[in-house]
Amino acid sequence: MPRLIAARLVQIAITLAVLSFCAYGLIGLMPGDPIDLAIASDPRLSAEDAARLRALHGLDRPLLARYGAWVGMVLSGEFGFSRLFAQPAAAVLWPALGSTLVLLGAALALAAAIGIGLGALAALRPRAAPTVDAVAVLGQSAPSFWLGMLLIILFAVRLGWLPAGGAPEDGAGLGEALRFLVLPVATLAIANLAAYARHSAAALEAALREPWIRSARARGAPERVVLWRHALPNAAVPILTIAALDAGALVSGALVTETVFARPGMGKLIYDAVMGNDYNLALLALLLAALVTMLATLAVDLAQRALDPRLRDA
């Protein structure tokens, strides 16, 4: 187990190193580096001035040297400055991460609960299966930003029950914060529950065919007990596989949802930073999102091993 965790952490570190180098290189190909912006804002700036500024900020050094310097800074805990927010990058990143984790946690819990419920319905009632299947195919096919817009039109514009987006003011109570959370969580949950419904239906159907289910029924166990006590624990491992595979989709969904609802968080931060030419912040936020995704996947893998002893030797 410790060896497995160590190996996976090394793999994550390698992925982050490759990703950061590629993203760092790509940023050089994006519009509006600081010197371009300085030239645009001051037409008196001559070509010599621009070259001098470039040398002053080290922008004339080769890519590898600049990347090495940046990595050294980040590893020593110095995250630099966000131009867009006019704050140290760390002061922007951590609150955004917290906000996104709340959104992801709530959406994941809701998606898994409804998805597994639908899956159980399909597995137990064969006549309901085609309906559940159709709901799952449609849910998987709907673009999440569109779902978000429809929810805004219905619940914010037409009915006026919930805010269309944004964040509660500082010092607002928990109730107010929850009101702002309802529509984004619903959007992200609807977009992700289809995968849970499809796979838990398949996993439960397989588990219900096992001989111990027949024994449980023969002993007179009620269907409720058969499903929750005997079938579900055995279906949990394949269902958790979906959770691991879906971690990336969930983080991607957070970017869309936060942008549609103008809700501050990691996803919106990446988007705003890229659009606002704040490339230091964009790079840090991208790496942080990747790190969170990979750590979540690792956590699910470990949970699977805890649940199923057969996986532990692998």
Partner 1 sequence: MPRVKLRLALGLAVLGVLAAAALAAPLAQQWLGHDPFAPDLFRRFEPPSPEHPLGTDDLGRDLLLRLLHGARVSLTVGVAAALAATLLGTAAGLFAAWRGGMADAVLMRIADGLLALPALPLLVVLAAVDPARIGLPRGEAATDILRIVVILALFGWVGVARLARAAALSVLAQDYVRAARALGAGEARVLLRHVLPNILGPVTVATALAVAGAILAESTLSFLGLGIQPPAPSWGNMLANAQEMVFSAPLAAVWPGLAILLAVAGCTLVADGVRGRG
Q: Which amino acid is at 31?
A: P
Q: Counting contacts by CB under 8 A, is residue 256 touching partner 1?
A: yes
Using CB under 8 A as the binding rule, the residues of this chain from 16 to 45 that contact partner 1 are: 18-19, 23, 26, 28-31
Q: Counting contacts by CB under 8 A, is residue 249 touching partner 1?
A: yes
CB 201 within 8 A of CB 123: yes
Per CB under 8 A, the list member of 255, 281, 284, 300 interacting with partner 1 is: 255
CB 15 within 8 A of CB 290: yes
Which residue, 16 or 45, has its beta carbon nearer to partner 1?
A: 16
Per CB under 8 A, the list member of 103, 106, 107, 294 interacting with partner 1 is: 294
Residue pointed to by tokens 């867009």 = 84
Q: Counting contacts by CB under 8 A, is residue 241 touching partner 1?
A: no
Per CB under 8 A, the list member of 141, 160, 169, 211 interacting with partner 1 is: 141
Helices 144-151 and 174-208 pack at an angle, to 10 degrees, of: 130
Q: Tell me the C-alpha distance between 6 and 3, whole Å.
A: 5
Q: Counting contacts by CB under 8 A, is residue 276 touching partner 1?
A: no
No. of helices (H) and no. of strands (E), the chain: 13, 2
Q: Counting contacts by CB under 8 A, is residue 127 touching partner 1?
A: no
The nearest distance, CB 172 to partner 1, in angstroms, is 25
Q: What are the structure tokens assigned to 95, written together?
A: 């609150």
Say whether 67 sits in a helix, a strand or coil: helix
The nearest distance, CB 215 to partner 1, in angstroms, is 27
The nearest distance, CB 177 to partner 1, in angstroms, is 24
Which residue, 19 or 39, has its beta carbon nearer to partner 1?
A: 19
Cα–Cα nearest to 303, from 312, 314, 294? 312
Which residue, 216 or 283, has its beta carbon nearer to partner 1?
A: 283
Tell me whether strands 81-82 and 87-88 are parallel, antiparallel or unpaired. Answer: antiparallel
Which residue, 116 or 285, has its beta carbon nearer to partner 1?
A: 285
- DSSP state letters, 116-133: HHHHHHHHH-TTTHHHHH
Q: Which amino acid is at 81?
A: F
Q: Counting contacts by CB under 8 A, is residue 150 touching partner 1?
A: yes
Q: What are the residues binding partner 1 (CB under 8 A)?
A: 14-15, 18-19, 23, 26, 28-31, 137-138, 140-146, 149-150, 152-153, 157-158, 245, 247-249, 251-253, 255-256, 259-260, 267, 270-271, 274-275, 282, 285-286, 289-290, 293-294, 297
